[in-house]
Amino acid sequence: MDKNLKWSEYDFGQIPFDDIEHFGTRSMLDRDTFTVSWLLGRFCNYRCSYCWPYARSDKKDHRPLKATIGTINEIKRQARERGFNSFHFSLSGGEPTFHPQYLDIVQHLNNDVPNCNFHSLHMTSNVSRPIQWFEKYYQASKDMHRVSITASYHREHVNTPKKVIEFADKLEFCQEHNIQITINIVMVPEFFEQFYEEALYFHDRGINVTLKPQSDPTASFVVDGYTDEQLKTLHNGMPQRGYTQEKSTVERPHYKWRDAAVDNKYGKVPAHFEIEFTDKYGKKWYMDQAERFNAFNFNNFNGWECSSGYRSIIIREPDGTIKRSYSCHDEPLGQIETGFKLYDGPKICTTSACVSSADSKIPKRKPGNMIPLWTV
């Protein structure tokens, strides 16, 4: 396999980031999607040396099932009042699979699919649960239009050849059951070459890999220490490919959306190139994933009009705070126990660094730009 792992001649470095005036994930630009990113609790069974202290805990601080389901229902009620009836829930932690009622939460979301125009589910997990757990996960989510997992690869724990193979085997099982998979590897500068070789192993097995630059403890900027060649790899290495579509042996319910591929000067851009940009000349550009934004220092949207809080929220446990995004420092929208209210329209961003990919891919436009934030 070509170790450059570029998608044909498509070079993300050619995107004129200084000239971009409008962008977002295509699933929100072209659909009435409301997104929820929910940190279900900080408990994690791993103890990674590089994990931020506030991101994990030994205490199982999960919210009871009844309160969680009640919050889901209220989110959907308010979203539907605002005209949104497609939903994307992204569940994370800590390690979310250790929530004692995790599969019940998934089943509740799955049961509402017939009432939605579209419903997708995402999970960020260290994939430490046995393969039998993932069999149950598939059954609980099998009516969803789309299911995906970001598999966090932690070399300190997946530390033998046998464990690496088992990690990949579980992910291939998910692919065979039409669960989209991407492995997330934080490319620590001093271990870059070692991690890259391991990433090649996963890519050779037909599993997508995200090469994520390491951020400082405040998650505000990329750390120093990368060579120019390593930065080029972070910019363009290992673009997302349609591996799950090739391996899946089951089908999910069909839904209406625009054509799978779009045309630009590079030819057909794959449907899984999820980010669409429009520059000041009206030209469109595409990128496979928002996780690359930080590598290009494309994360300052202060003064831009943003859909977060109106079409997306984040929830942090254990306190149940509901905010427009991870990055924003403005007042929360509320709290699970005391109530919350979504915005009635897009708001101006007041934050200098939008460093979470969950935040940065929410549709945005520069002041004065009249391109619709979505076309439904």
Is position 326 within any domain? yes
3-state secondary structure 187-244: ECHHHHHHHHHHHHHHHHCCCEEEEEECECCCCCCECCCCCHHHHHHHHHCCCCCCHH
Residue 48 has pLDDT above 50, yes or no: yes
Determine the average pLDDT of the residues in 268-274: 75
C-alpha to C-alpha distance for 294 and 288, rounded to whole angstroms: 14
Residue that wins the pLDDT comparison between 287 and 111 = 111
In a domain, 296, yes or no: no
Q: What integer pLDDT is reported at residue 288 of this predicted model?
A: 87
Kindly report the CATH number assigned to the domain that includes residue 143: 3.20.20.70
| pLDDT score for 121 | 98
Report the half-sphere exposure of 201 (CA within 13 A, side-chain side).
15
Q: Answer whether residue 173 is part of any domain.
A: yes
Section 136-158 average pLDDT: 96
- How many whole angstroms separate alpha carbon 166 and alpha carbon 205? 12
Please state, in angstroms and rounded to a whole number, the distance separating the CA atoms of residues 38 and 92: 6
Q: What pLDDT does 6 receive? A: 41
Which range among 68-72, 105-109, 357-361 shows the weakest confidence by mean pLDDT? Answer: 357-361
Exposure string for 8-32, b = 16+ CB within 10 A, e = fewer: eebebeebeeeebbbbbbbbbbebb
Band the pLDDT of 220: cuts 50, 70, 90. low
Which pLDDT belongs to residue 208?
A: 93
Residue 103 in this model has a pLDDT that exceeds 50: yes
Of all residues in the chain, the percent with pLDDT exceeding 70 is 92
Percent of the chain with pLDDT over 90: 66
Task: Classify the phi-psi angles of 320: left when phi > 0, otherwise alpha if psi is within -120 to 50, otherwise beta.
Answer: left
Is the pLDDT at 214 greater than 90, yes or no? no
Beta bridge partner(s), residue 308: 312
Does residue 361 lie in a domain region? no
pLDDT tens digits, residue range 107-141? 999 999 999 999 999 999 999 999 999 999 999 99
Note the pLDDT of residue 1: 38
Whether 51 is in a domain gets the answer yes
Q: For residue 359, tell me if it sits in a domain.
A: no
**Across 171-185, average pLDDT:** 96
Rounded mean pLDDT of the chain?
89
Give the pLDDT of residue 132: 97
Examine residue 345 and state whether it is found in any structural domain, yes or no. no
Question: What pLDDT does 3 receive?
Answer: 43
Query: Going along the chain, which residue ranges are E strands?
Result: 20-25, 33-39, 86-92, 118-125, 146-152, 179-187, 208-213, 262-264, 267-269, 275-279, 284-287, 305-306, 312-316, 321-323, 334-335, 339-340, 347-348, 364-365
Predicted confidence (pLDDT) per residue in 296-330, tens digit: 889 999 999 999 999 999 999 999 999 999 888 88
* Cα separation values, 252 from 131, 144, 176, 207, 244, Å: 21, 7, 12, 20, 12
Q: Which residues of 338-354 are buried (b: 16+ CB within 10 A; e: fewer)?
A: eebebeeebbebebebb
Q: How many domains does the chain have?
A: 1
pLDDT at 4 over 60: no
Asked if the structure places residue 269 within a domain, the reply is no
Residue 357 pLDDT: 86
Give the pLDDT confidence of 6-46 residue by residue, as tens digits.
Answer: 443 568 889 999 999 999 998 899 889 999 999 999 999 99
pLDDT at 365 exceeding the cut of 70? yes
Q: Which domain holds residue 254?
A: 32-258+309-339
How far separated are the first and last CA of the chain, in Å rounded?
40
